[in-house]
Amino acid sequence: MGIEDGIIDRIYEAAIISELWPEVLDNLSHAISSAGGILFTASAGEIRWTSSPGTAEFMRAFVDGGWDKRNSRATRLAPMKYPGFVHDLDIFTREEVDRDPFYTELCRPKGVGWAAGTIIDVPNGDMMVYSFDRAVEAGPYDRSAIDFLDSLRPHLARAGIMAARLHLERAKSAVDTLAAVGLPAAVLRADGRVVAANGLLEDLTLHVIISAFDRVHLVSKRANALLADGLSHIDELLSIGVLSFASLGLNEEKAVMHLLPLRRAAHDIFNSAACIALVTPGGKLNPPAEALLW
């Protein structure tokens, strides 16, 4: 089983053009007789994923059914920190597979019974997983399939890390642009963690605190509660375009916080940013249009 001409080039192209991931996963799936391939990232309880067509229904059931919290494969594989692909019988016995709810209630009803997967830690704190699933009747993966995937794993890992880094640079560029026009700003995840912040916001200590684990908080308890509520409903804010609310800081300093939700494409799984948060000191209500920011 050799590496198809051009597949490595396409892996690196997908790092830049996210729309290419389903094609790359599909090509790899065909090479190892899989129903399809899945790539997903997990961070702070959020799952972002893409797949080849053959495993899309399975992955939707995985996410919708909350199986990320009951994933016995990941529970066994993650602590191993194994730098390669494994298949089911590397971490389970056949008897365990036949009685494990992950297989009996999710995989087999969705037509897949065997998988080969790997976990890769991304420097931005995400966990990246590649998984290739095949039908029950196809049987477990053999050594040649695992060796083939292992030969590509360094490229798959680098491509994922490149994609995550590109999004970080994009976030930094956005807040630096806002700093150039005098606006304190940060790019935030949905859990309030800071992806990138400019110096103007970091210096705005009368209103803003960036605490442990890079989470942003507001000095005003009322405003901080509105911030938390806005972040928890960030998807609903997409139809609004921007949420603004007053914040009273130390020394009765007035400001307005604006949350501008980012319209991430569903396939863009390495983009962990949820919104741009910016502060206009003095109570001004004139945030820039979201279209100019991202």
Query: Which one is predicted more confidently, 187 or 213?
Result: 187
Gyration radius (Cα) of the chain, Å: 22
- Asked which of 101-105, 136-140, 166-170, 240-244 is least confident by mean pLDDT, the reply is 240-244
Tell me if residue 222 falls in helix, strand or coil.
helix
Q: What is the pLDDT of residue 264?
A: 60
Q: What is the pLDDT of residue 293?
A: 43
Residues 216, 186: Cα–Cα separation, whole Å:
9
Q: What is the pLDDT of residue 253?
A: 82
3-state helix, strand, coil in the chain (%, to 5): 45, 25, 30
* 19-30 tens-digit pLDDT: 899 999 999 999
Helix (H) or strand (E) holding 87: strand 86-87
Q: What is the pLDDT of residue 294?
A: 42
Distance of CA 71 to the CA centre of its chain: 17
Query: Which one is predicted more confidently, 171 or 125?
Result: 171
Q: What is the pLDDT of residue 272?
A: 79
* 38-94 tens-digit pLDDT: 999 887 667 889 999 999 999 999 999 999 889 999 999 999 999 999 999 999 999
Amino acid at 189: R
The secondary structure of residue 141, as a DSSP letter, is: -
Q: What is the pLDDT of residue 291?
A: 43
Q: What is the pLDDT of residue 106?
A: 96
282 Rama class: left (phi>0) / alpha (psi -120 to 50) / beta: left
Q: What is the pLDDT of residue 213?
A: 74
How many C-beta atoms lie closer than 10 Å to residue 65's C-beta? Answer: 12
- Asked which of 126-140, 184-198, 218-232, 261-275 is least confident by mean pLDDT, the reply is 261-275
Residues 148, 151: Cα–Cα separation, whole Å:
5
Mean pLDDT computed over 188-203: 89
- CB 111 within 8 Å of CB 35: yes
What proportion of the chain, given as a percentage, has pLDDT over 70?
Answer: 90
Instruction: Give the CA dihedral 216, 265, 161, 171, nearest 10 degrees.
Output: -40
Dihedral of alpha carbons 277, 49, 64, 90, sign: negative
* 115-129 tens-digit pLDDT: 999 999 887 778 899
Q: What angle do CA 159, 33, 4 make, to 5 degrees?
A: 50
Local confidence band at 290 (pLDDT 50, 70, 90 cut-offs): very low
* 239-260 tens-digit pLDDT: 777 788 888 888 778 888 899 8
The tokens describing 170, both together, are: 């994009």
Q: Reading across the β-sheet that carries 114-121, which strands appear in turn?
A: 46-51, 36-43, 127-134, 114-121, 86-87
Mean pLDDT computed over 119-147: 91
Burial pattern 221-252, b for ≥16 Cβ within 10 A else e, equals eebbebbeebbeebeebeeeebbbbebbbeee
Phi/psi at 104 (5° precision): -75, -30
Q: How many residues does the chain have?
A: 294
- Is 0.75 surpassed by the pTM of this model? yes
Q: What is the pLDDT of residue 267?
A: 46
Helix 7-16 vs helix 143-180: crossing angle, to nearest 10: 30
